[in-house]
Copies of this chain bind each other. A is one copy, B any other.
Amino acid sequence: MTYNELFRQIQQKQSFLCVGLDTDVKRIPAHILDADDPVFEFNRQIVDATLPFSVAYKPNMAFYEAGGEAGWRSLQKTINYIRQKEPSVLIIADAKRGDIGNTSRLYAETFFEGLNVDAVTLSPYMGKDTVSPFLKYKNRWVILLALTSNSSASDFQYFEGKNGQLLYEKVLQISREWGTCNQLMYVVGATRAEGLAQVRKIVPEHFLLVPGVGAQGGSLEEVARYGMNSHCGLLVNSSRGIIYASSGKNFAKKAAEAAAALQKEMAELLTAHGLIATVQ
């Protein structure tokens, strides 16, 4: 998927919602546990319920790796299901990998050829060598950690250089040269709205993947105020607030309601920024 195609999806769905599939087998409603593959069955119902309101899904690798080989199988089935159901939705593997050379090339193969996702989150610590093998794939994305939403992000991301530049700013400044807006996005936490404004000074065009709205306390309106650009430029992720909206038999219905509520707010923000004509 290209930058422009992603923007068109956002316009069509009037949404820049990414649903985080942090599917924890311990939190799956009891009535699903009888299914052959409860993790997949849960995801399937979540996807069916939320597809009208979301342009992206983000399975979090940790939750599938925790299941070992069965977890890996559930993940692959989930990705195949989303692909078959709606080929134009963006699938992000939240992997935060960061290696080099042959190892990084193998990760790229695993995620882009094996699992067949559109995008992978990566960590910048080892530099360009981590990212390069992923950029060889056309119409696939690297989403690089820049400014994260957790409290200890400040341990190193705010490390101040001689000229006053912070590490996360350096990461943006150096890495934006590695690829185009069609290849690179950045992770920027919603809990740091002032940071979003600063990020936009360095990468005005790029899409930002923004976690931390909802459970982690960020405000969607602030994210749009500081982060939205002429092509929206935002994918806002919500995981627990949607997939665990209810722990009962109505979990899929409640997930749809939670996603719809966010989509409605997003449509209003897209309208206010002149990116869609009217809220339908």
B-binding residues in A (CB < 8 A)? 22, 24, 60, 62-63, 65-66, 68-70, 72-73, 76, 94, 96-104, 106-107, 109-110, 114, 123-130, 145, 148, 150-157, 159-162, 167, 170-171, 174
* Residue in B62, B106, B162 whose beta carbon sits within 8 Å of that of A161 in the complex: B162
- Majority-rule SS of A interface residues: helix
Contact A62 B123 (CB under 8 A): no
Q: Contact at A155–B127, with CB atoms within 8 Å?
A: yes
CB–CB A22/B102 < 8 A: yes
Contacts of A174 in B (CB 8 A): 155-156
User: Are A76 and B68 touching (Cβ within 8 A)?
Assistant: yes
Assess the B161–A66 pair: CB atoms within 8 A: no
Most buried by B among A66, A72, A125: A125
Best-buried of A126, A157, A160 by chain B (most CB within 10 Å): A126
Q: How many protomers of this protein does the assembly include?
A: 2
Instruction: Flag if B157 contacts A159 (CB, 8 Å).
Output: no
Residues of B within 8 A of A161 (CB): 159-162
Contact at A148–B110, with CB atoms within 8 Å? no
Nearest-neighbour CB distance to chain B for A145, whole angstroms, equals 6
Determine which residue in A76, A148, A161 has the highest number of CB atoms from chain B within 10 A of its CB, and name it: A148
B153 in contact with A126 (CB, 8 Å): yes
For A152, list chain B residues within 8 Å (CB). 100, 126-130
Known: A153-B127, A155-B174, A159-B159. A99 touches B96 (CB 8 A): yes
- Are B123 and A66 interface neighbours, CB within 8 A? no
Could you say which of B73, B126, B155 contacts A150, with CB atoms under 8 Å apart?
A: B126
- Quick check: B100 and A129 within 8 Å, CB to CB? no
Chain B residues with CB under 8 Å of A153's CB are 126-127, 129
Q: Which residues of the other chain, B, contact A170 by a CB distance below 8 angstroms?
A: 156, 159
* Inter-subunit contact A98/B73 (CB<8 Å): no
Q: Mind listing 29 A-B residue pairs with CB under 8 Å?
A: A24-B102, A62-B103, A62-B104, A62-B110, A65-B106, A68-B76, A69-B69, A69-B70, A69-B73, A69-B76, A72-B72, A96-B99, A98-B123, A98-B145, A101-B150, A124-B155, A124-B156, A125-B145, A125-B156, A126-B148, A126-B150, A126-B152, A126-B157, A127-B152, A127-B154, A127-B156, A129-B151, A155-B174, A159-B161
In the complex, A171→B155 CA distance in Å? 8
C-alpha gap A62/B103 in the complex (Å): 6
When C-beta atoms are compared, the residue in chain B nearest to A73 turns out to be B69
